[in-house]
Amino acid sequence: MNQVIETLLKRKSVRAYEKREIEPNVKAAILKATLRAPTAGNMMLYSIIDVTDQRIKDRLAVTCDNQPFIARAPMAWVFLADYQRWYDYFLASDVEVVCQQNNELLRKPEEGDLFLACCDALIAAQNAVIAAESFGVGSCYIGDVIEQYEAHKELLNLPQYVFPICMLVFGYPTGQQKDREMTTRFDEKFIVFENGYRQLDSAEFDEMFRERESQMPKGKAMGGIANFGQAMYRRKFGSDFSVEMSRSAREWLKGWKR
């Protein structure tokens, strides 16, 4: 096993941090590695907001589903799917004139452009995660930044063709976080298919979720929840924050397509 593979396999989300700043040279190295991430057509269809204002961090800790550890993280980066920069560049380059000469309408960013920009931003974010891990700096993804469309658009000054696809918070993990047991992953046979997708049957689901099912509390403590699928639906998919995330995503998309 080489060092890169070992880093990947040992990485876990960190939500509690030492009261220690991330050194400027370490931060610079993480950023340098982040910006070397693979990118569609070498366009770098993303931007990063380095949140250094504690007031903004405090606000994000509330708007991102009330998670106080966000405010305590020494470093917070919001990763933006960004087609605004290229669209502005196209306008500055008089692309519209060329379109008129060819009897074409100037195309504005659409859904496919958004998805591609989201891919670019997330690939860069994962580079940041692994680069940080190599320095002993822990991290945690915050998907909740997709929520609260109106609040985040104003708070982060986001124009039309910019979408906050995720936030990362970083810090040196506490001893408890270092010693915390790692979460398990599903067996690859349920995740990796050869040459085409395959839906799983009930027996495969029973096997896939057996370990997690065995760790569930039983009886009245479950409040009528009978199995892990019901618990995850209530906790994640059917939760208020998940509904709000979908509402906000629709609003972001409306703005993108306007």
Position 29 pLDDT exceeds 90: yes
Among 56-60, 142-146, 219-223, 241-245, the range scoring the smallest mean pLDDT is: 219-223
Q: What angle do CA 116, 119, 121 make, to 5 degrees?
A: 110
Q: Nearest CA to 146 among 113, 123, 114? A: 114
CA–CA distance from 215 to each of 83, 211, 236, 239 (Å)?
44, 7, 18, 21
Helix pair angle (24-34, 111-134), 10° resolution: 140
What pLDDT does residue 98 have? 95
Secondary element (H or E) of residue 55: helix 54-63
Averaged over 44-65, what is the pLDDT? 98
What pLDDT does residue 17 have? 97
Both structure tokens of 42? 């070498």
**Residue 148: HSE in the Cβ half-sphere, 13 Å Cα cutoff:** 17
The phi, psi pair for 5, rounded to 5°, reads: -65, -40
Domains located in the chain, CATH noted: 3-181 (3.40.109.10)
Distance of CA 20 to the CA centre of its chain: 24
What pLDDT does residue 81 have? 98
What pLDDT does residue 257 have? 76
Q: What angle do CA 239, 242, 248 make, to 5 degrees?
A: 140
pTM for the full predicted model: 0.95
Which residues are CB-contacts of 120 (< 8 A; sequence separation ≥ 6)? 37, 39, 40, 43, 44, 45, 46, 81
What pLDDT does residue 224 have? 80
Averaged over 33-53, what is the pLDDT? 98
- How far apart CA 11 and CA 9 sit, in angstroms, is 6
Both structure tokens of 64? 């991102």
CA–CA distance from 234 to each of 41, 56, 149, 181, 225 (Å)?
40, 30, 23, 25, 9
Averaged over 198-220, what is the pLDDT? 90
Q: How confident is the model at residue 219 (pLDDT cuts 50, 70, 90)?
A: low
**Residue 244: HSE in the Cβ half-sphere, 13 Å Cα cutoff:** 15
